[in-house]
Structure 1
Amino acid sequence: MTKRTSATFAKKDQLELAVIECWDALKHPTARDVFIAQSKDPKYYGMDFSGRLSLILQAEITKRKERRTERLLKESKIDDKTVSVQNIVYSEERNANAAVIKELAKGRWLENPGKDWIIVTRKLLPGYQRSIVKKCK
């Protein structure tokens, strides 16, 4: 290995460390981890900047969505961690309309920005209705 090649590697290492420090300063741990993995994997060496950055950002976005879902599920205090619209029991005594619930689950009602929506987040009990209803805009 020549001196020039060693200097090139040293400069590349310094740049990679600077980028890692930037990801840390921005508080993007997933992006940092993906960048480090890409730096060690030869299949990414020939990839252009936009392609690598796109993969890094997609990984960060995906991880943030997963963490948000986990947080919301934890805050909901639902005991069943496999809760899903597909698992709803539409029995007569529950008075649950399957068609309405499945339509609401699609989330299209969120696309109408001019409307206010109310979401019931827990079972309604007398005297507690105000504390368990959230107004969405």
Structure 2
Amino acid sequence: MIDVVLVAVNDSTPAFAAATVAVEYAERLGARVHAVTVLEPWLVGRVHEDAGLIDIRHRREQAGDAALRHVAALGAAAGVEVSGVRREGPVAAAILEEAVSVGAGLIVLARVSRRGHALPYVGSETLRVLEFATVPVLVVPTHPQ
């Protein structure tokens, strides 16, 4: 039986689609949702843009926290318990570690959708999760039916 559905989210439309599907599955299964957002260490430094410095780390943290709040709101609307955490490190490894730590019975991920690509695709982090996961992994299309 699946008691915990883990969903990996960021501040993207595909991730929000995956979160919606995760909440729907959890509702049907009588499970709870645990959301994780991962900050990649090489994306959290400072970068020079135009005349000033922008603290990328702070903005990434804010975006991750907003994504977690979005999942919590989806869960509240569906009557599904939702917890969430922000982690830092290599994305696939952090997702897999979080899945083990919360006893997830299902991992839900989004397909990647990037400008310049005609179609969404399974990204390298998703492929790593698929390769090393010990529980089922559901990869959600950008616009699920």
TM bucket (normalised to shorter chain) is: under 0.3
**Higher relative contact order at CA 8 Å, sep ≥6: structure 1 or structure 2?**
2
What is the TM-score of this pair, normalised by structure 1? 0.27
Higher helix share: 1
Higher CA-based Rg: 1
